[in-house]
Structure 1
Amino acid sequence: MGTDQRVAIIVRFGLNPQHWAERHARGDVVDETPYAYHLAEQWFTVEWSDDRPENQIARWWRMSVRHFLGFDFVHVWRNRRVIRRADAVWTHTEREHLAVALLKTLSPRRYRAVSIAQSVWLWDLWPNVSRVRAAFFHRLVKRHAVEVVLSRVNRDASREAVPGRTVVRVPFGTHFASPNPGAAPAGTPRILVVGNDRHRDWDLLAAVTELVPEAEFDLISLSEDVHARQWPAHVHVRSATQPEVLAAYATSTVVALPLLPNSHASGCTVAIEAISAGIPIVVSDAGGIDEYVTGADADLVPVGDAAAFAAAIRRRLAGPAGAAAGSTAADRGLSERDYVARLALLTQAALSGAAFDPAVEAFQRVADAPRVRSGVTA
């Protein structure tokens, strides 16, 4: 329905909402829009970034500028009119929010929208950023009303790197998987492994598959590293659409999340999907993922410890079949509706100059959290 307040949603090049709608119509993706940001329409008038068609030269130029600056300024520049019309800007990663900040730095009178800037990989990369680029980014991130991150580890790293800003850990939310029918699949137990993130520990997984030969491993990934490896015969590597990934939970016994050290709760989407499906999880204790699986049927194991990871899987396989116990993803406020509602709360606070509502950081349904204003719940 929207209001007079206008929000510009700037997503990366390639997430054109028209193209996404075609994918949704074909059944390739579950959400109607990227990250279900269309749910913000109940509070704001929403306008999306668009992808300008590119020939070879235009793409070369955009990618060259992106490489030089460290973010996709050309894509954001092409959408500058959307940003100029907005009262607030949402971005999904630093590749977009740093570009928005540069626009605001170059022309502060023209680009006055408050920015709700989500970072994903920025603080993982920060220790390796050059001094010149770090100083540049340091200035840019101060242009945002609030920075959103998905884990407390990222939040603390951000605050330490560039103090004096509002940085908020907002629990992510995603589409829920269908519940497991309540019993492990007949026959050989199946371990589901899903992910493309750069912080998946494929070396660890390779060692675990050798230690647990009695189970089938269903490995769904687009990672080039995954597809280039030689896996044992009981490991089945494939790609899949989002609906196919969600369907895979119903035929799985355990979900495995092998993670490298990181700051951004790598694997939180898979953890949420597994919790919603009622499947036990074995996960490396990295990046603040523990906040997402607290109270769920999950085993946290030390990072890089293949023996401990394999032992946890085997304990799960030896245990009684049935739905996982513990709090549900819905109870913990890990739906996409909760996620977008949290961003709406932050946006309204930024536009009014008020302190943000503590509901945005709570791992519970936004509608159940204290002090949520009427009409701003999911």
Structure 2
Amino acid sequence: MATGGGAGVVVFYPAGRDLPAWRERHTAGAAPDRWPYGLDRLDRFLPVVTARNLPNVSSAGRAARRLKALLPPGRRPGRPVGVTWDENAGVFLSTTGALSARYSGVVWLTDSVARQGGSAFHGMRRAMRRMDGLWVLSDAQVAPLTDFLGSGAPPVHYVRFGVDHDFFRHVTYPARPLVVSVGGDRDRDPETLLRAMTAVRRARPDVDIVVQSKTSIDPPEGVTVIPYLTHAELRDLYARASVVAIATRPNLHVSGMTVGLEALSTGRPLVITRTPGMDDYFGGTTAARMIDVGDADGLARETLAMLDDPVSASVAGTAGRAHVEAGFTTAQLAGRIADVIRSR
């Protein structure tokens, strides 16, 4: 087992991540978890867990790391275990020395390889093969990533995501109708979302709609688009919402699951696109309804059904909160990652 022993575990974050500022916001009640993604909670399962930033690397430093990547990774017994959240930070972890083992999550790589081909990601493949273990957040990613990495690669584990249910606390269902959509990652589908919201407004002109997105599409009348929300603003917006609606394009990494779980944690029902892996997160609760990719009519229909029956929507939201507490908190996520680290 690679638990780090007395040397412990170091969670490495990107060089630009301001960890002291994050901790200050968390202490002030303005950010979830003490560290991003709740990895501070690893200290419940593993000894001596600390966090630090990966170093800023100059052009010369990058060249040196590329040369180092051609050598065996090297493992130093008695030194800490290194952990990173995703493959982009994992590239730097792969050539970070003085570690007994290295573990990383993989988020976007499987979709990138599927769309662009594996030859475009040879360097990423080499870096991930230097790890002692990897985890993904969707079971639909396990086989593609395993195939891409090839024989002799580290094991790939499926780890269910979680959110800070203390920060995204359950709030009484609102009286005023409001539809909320949040998220601007590369696999969101603003075209389908805004078509659906147009239909919602046509049927229920009394309903306000707020969309957090960086889309350049002009929103329909009655839909407010904002580019960015702080964590505290996002929490307050969920609290005002009657239903949260998410539209995504085809993907393997379960785009939208973070927002979906945060909404359920707040006690808000969810309408979301069904993509591979989504059933593992929302298939077991009445709080979520799933629609097909590109189905604007279905997204509008299910959203309106919840708006038109606020009593049932409130009950569904309460069920959603219980669903998160039962298996989708950051403490539970940390426990699953700790199992990956201990599995070696």
- TM-score, normalised to structure 2, is 0.82
Partners of 1:131 and 1:154 lie apart in 2 by: 15
Shift of the alpha carbon at 1:302?
0.4
SS in structure 2 of the partner of residue 89 of structure 1: strand
Show structure 1 runs of 5+ residues with no match: 105-109, 351-378
Paired residues of 1:263 and 1:288 also in contact (CA < 8 A) = yes
1:47-85 deviation digits (Å, cap 9, x = unpaired): 32326579xxx5xx49x95xx99xx98xx9xxx9xx998
Structure 1 match to 2:293? 303
State the SS of the aligned residue for 1:315. helix
Cα 1:53–1:89, aligned 2, differ >3 Å: closer, same or farther? closer
Letter of the aligned partner of 1:342 in structure 2? Answer: R
Contact 1:180 1:323 in 2 (8 A): no
Tell me how far apart the structure 1 counterparts of residues 253 and 188 of structure 2 sit (CA, whole Å).
12
Asked if residue 220 in structure 1 is aligned to residue 212 in structure 2, the reply is: yes
Q: Paired residue for 1:313?
A: 303
Amino acid at match of 1:334: F
Structure 1 residues 159, 240: closer, same or farther in 2, change over 3 A?
A: same
Q: 318, 328, 334: which is aligned to 1:340?
A: 334
* 1:211 paired residue number: 199
2:47 to 38, 44, 48: 44
Match among 275, 287, 291 for residue 264 of structure 2: 275
Structure 2: distance between partners of 1:131 and 1:37: 30
* Paired letter, 1:178: R
- Does structure 2 conserve the Cα–Cα contact (< 8 Å) formed by 1:184 and 1:251? yes
Q: What TM-score do the two structures reach when normalised by structure 1?
A: 0.75
Q: CA deviation at 1:287?
A: 3.8
SS in 1 for 2:6: coil
State the distance in 2 between where 1:117 and 1:229 align. Answer: 36
Instruction: Report the 3-state secondary structure (helix = DSSP H, G, I; strand = E; otherwise coil) of the residue aligned with 1:332.
Output: helix
Compared CA separation, residues 26 and 304, structure 1 to 2 (3 A):
same
Is residue 171–residue 339 contact of structure 1 (8 Å, CA) maintained in 2? yes
Contact 1:118–1:149, Cα closer than 8 Å, also in 2: yes
2:106 paired residue number? 119
Could you tell me whether the CA contact under 8 Å between 2:5 and 2:78 is conserved in 1? no
The unaligned stretches of length 5 or more in structure 2 are: none
Q: CA deviation at 1:265?
A: 1.0
1:120 partner SS:
coil
- State the secondary structure of the residue aligned to 2:343: helix
Q: Percent identity?
A: 24
Partner of 2:282: 293
The SS at the match of 1:179 is coil
CA distance 1:194–1:13, change in 2 (3 Å): same
Q: Deviations over 1:120-149 (max 9, x none)?
A: 111110134566544443333222221100
Higher relative contact order (CA 8 A, sep 6+): 2
Among candidates 144, 163, 166, match of residue 155 of structure 2: 166
Partner residue in 2 for 1:6: 8
The size of the alignment, in residue pairs, is 320
Structure 1 residue 145 corresponds to structure 2 residue 132:
yes
**Which one of the candidate residues 218, 225, 249 is aligned to 1:230?**
218
What is the distance in 1 between the residues matched to 2:18 and 2:41? 17
Distance change >3 Å, CA 128–CA 283, structure 1 → 2? closer
Alignment correspondent of 2:187: 199
TM-superposition CA deviations, 1:307-357 (whole Å, max 9, x none): 11111111112224223164623443111111111111221222xxxxxxx
* Backbone CA RMSD of aligned residues: 3.1
For residues 166 and 252 of structure 1, the distance between their equivalents in structure 2, rounded to whole angstroms, comes to 41
Tell me if structure 2 keeps the 8 A contact 1:204–1:305: yes
The secondary structure found in structure 2 opposite 1:191 is strand
- Call closer, same or farther: CA 1:85–1:16 in 2, change over 3 Å: farther
User: Does the CA-based 8 Å contact 1:185-1:252 persist in structure 2?
Assistant: no
